[in-house]
Amino acid sequence: MPKFAIVSEGPTDQVVLDRVISLICESGFEDDVIVNFAQPIRDETDSNKSEIGGWELVLEYCSTRISDALASNDYVVIQIDTDCGEEVNFGVPLTSGGQDRPFVDLIADVERLIAGKIGEPLFSKFKERFIFAVSVHSLESWLLLYFFSDGRTKNSFEKLQYRFKTKWNYNRFEKEVGCYQLITKKIKQKDLNSFVGGDHSFGVFLKRLTELESLTALIPDDADNGRLNSPAPGENIEARSVDEA
């Protein structure tokens, strides 16, 4: 059974990614898909509000513990929003010459940033097992597009709240696991297929999922399964198993 580890900004992002990965990938693999939560670990955050996470912890995990996810999973999905791109430690400009930068350029910059955090030789050796989920400008932008055909990418959470209230009579929608579990149940595979390869960051992520190769073709027999986590000179880093959900 193919295993996917999710490294994301928060548990609500994990809820959405879990649903999307399962729907897209289960039709492409003979066995059921298993999704594990690497960052943040769900047991620490499942009490509802997403307070343990953020883009900084995603980058930190990629720098220090990504081999954990590789050691016990076939693929590692790394999700990060671009809305904080201009923060000092993020360093991805959102505009150029007073205009919003194209989403493809933002995705390329963020992927380079993450690859640099993972480091060499680990990234090059296992790059086919990394799946980037760069959401421009937030994962809520994907939900806004999916449910309401609204391609705007700024202030998406507030727009979702308004749409759910006025269109679905949801008087309460917050950044809580329970709320996201409720709405993601409405995501269907046949509808997701229409977004694959679309002119948006959601389409880029979905296309990557549909292009996954079989694991037998992807991982050589002598693969060390991610235990080469580019240590500093003289440092011995041992891979640790990812806690399964």
User: Looking at the whole model, is its pTM more than 0.95?
Assistant: no
- pLDDT tens-place string over residues 148-190: 999 999 999 999 999 999 999 999 999 999 999 999 999 999 9
Contact criterion met (CB below 8 Å) for 43 and 198:
no
- pLDDT tens-place string over residues 186-226: 999 999 999 999 999 999 999 999 999 654 444 444 445 55
pLDDT of 56 > 90? The answer is: yes
How many helices (DSSP H) and strands (DSSP E) are in the chain?
A: 12, 6
Res 112: pLDDT: 98
pLDDT of 137 > 70? The answer is: yes
pLDDT of 13 > 70? The answer is: yes
**3-state SS assignment for residue 11:** helix
